[in-house]
Amino acid sequence: MKVAPSLLSCDFSKMGEEVVRIDRAGADLVHLDVMDGHFVPNITIGPCIVSAVRPYTKLPFDVHLMIDHPIDYIDAFADAGADIITFHIEAKSDIDRTIEKIRQRGLLPGIVIKPKTPVESVFPYLDKLYMVLVMTVEPGFGGQSFMADMMPKITALKEECKKRQLNVLVEVDGGVSEKTVGAVAAAGADICVSGTGVFKAKDAAAAIKFLQESDKNLC
Ligand code: DX5
Ligand code: ZN
């Protein structure tokens, strides 16, 4: 499984160094949480921060937009250096046009679903997507408890993709740590996001390695 540490749990006073730290520790992607204070009750980073940390690594930037009007900001995040852009199906932009806009900019699109959103809601878009991101916490804050009852969504996504011969990646975000990753791996996720679990670990490299190898340890 690939690991995308979430910068939301890093030391914001030295983000560049934090990006270098997780790159050296073996991260596969960098997850950047963008919040607008409307879609979620928190405000985090915008395109200027994404572009400020972009030179510190060659790892892909996985930008998770938790904003009301994602389509209006695709250009800004593309210019800032995003590689993957995921946006919420519950947001206010037209889904097909937002996917198309991300593709037009040469980036990889993904849809995110909140815990209360049924997994079937993304099925009509699967053939246009690079990734589906399944939230295992209510979006807005790092350090929350993992919702194990979201695991059937991962299984359902994988089954639907197999049935339709699609290769869409499934990413899981929220409360993923050494304690909870077993369920994520068992359900068949391709990528896990981990904020607290990596940045607050005593040894980030060991934490990342544990998460990466969690699918090898399955019975
Ligand atoms: C929550 C964010 C997550 C979160 C992950 O809204 O999308 O990326 O910060 O952090 P942890 O792993 O601490 O739950
Ligand atoms: Zn996120």
In 58-124 the beta strands, taken as DSSP E runs, fall at 61-66, 84-88, 108-113
Q: Which of 28, 36, 62, 173 is catalytic?
A: 173
Q: Rounded to an integer, what distance in angstroms lies between the CA atom of residue 175 and that of residue 18? A: 20
CA of 141 to the centre of ligand 1 (A): 6
Residue of 182, 200, 197 whose CA lies nearest to 1: 182
- Name the closest-CA residue to atom 9, ligand 1: 142
State pTM to two decimals: 0.98
Is 79 noted as a catalytic residue in this protein? Answer: no
For the chain, give the percent of residues with pLDDT over 90.
98
Residue-wise pLDDT tens digits, 135-182: 999 999 999 999 999 999 999 999 999 999 999 999 999 999 999 999
Centre a 10 Å sphere on the Cβ of residue 54 and count the other Cβ atoms it contains: 16
Place of tokens 């869409």: 168
Asked if 13 contacts 39 with a C-beta cutoff of 8 angstroms, the reply is no
- Whether 218 has a pLDDT exceeding 80, the answer reads no
Is 173 noted as a catalytic residue in this protein? Answer: yes
Q: Which of 28, 33, 36, 62 is catalytic?
A: 33
Q: Rounded to an integer, what distance in angstroms lies between the CA atom of residue 61 and that of residue 73? A: 16
Q: Which atom of ligand 1 is nearest to the CA of 42?
A: 6
CA of 77 to the centre of ligand 2 (A): 15
pLDDT band at 216 (very low <50, low <70, confident <90, very high): confident
Ligand 1: which of 7, 8, 87 to mutate, most ligand atoms within 8 Å of CB? 8
* Ramachandran sector of residue 175 (left: φ over 0; alpha: ψ -120 to 50; beta: rest): left
Q: Which atom of ligand 1 is nearest to the CA of 35?
A: 6
Ligand 1: which of 193, 199, 210 to mutate, most ligand atoms within 8 Å of CB? 193
Q: List, chain by chain if needed, residues with CB within 6 Å of any ligand 1 atom.
A: 6, 8-9, 31, 33, 64, 137, 139-140, 142-144, 173-176, 193-197
Per domain, the residue ranges of the chain are 2-216
CA of 194 to the centre of ligand 1 (A): 7
Query: CATH: 3.40.605.10, 3.90.1530.10, 3.20.20.70, 3.10.105.10. Which one for 2-216?
Result: 3.20.20.70
CA of 43 to the centre of ligand 2 (A): 13
32-135-69 Cα angle (round to 5) = 60
- Whether 10 has a pLDDT exceeding 90, the answer reads yes
Average pLDDT, the chain: 98
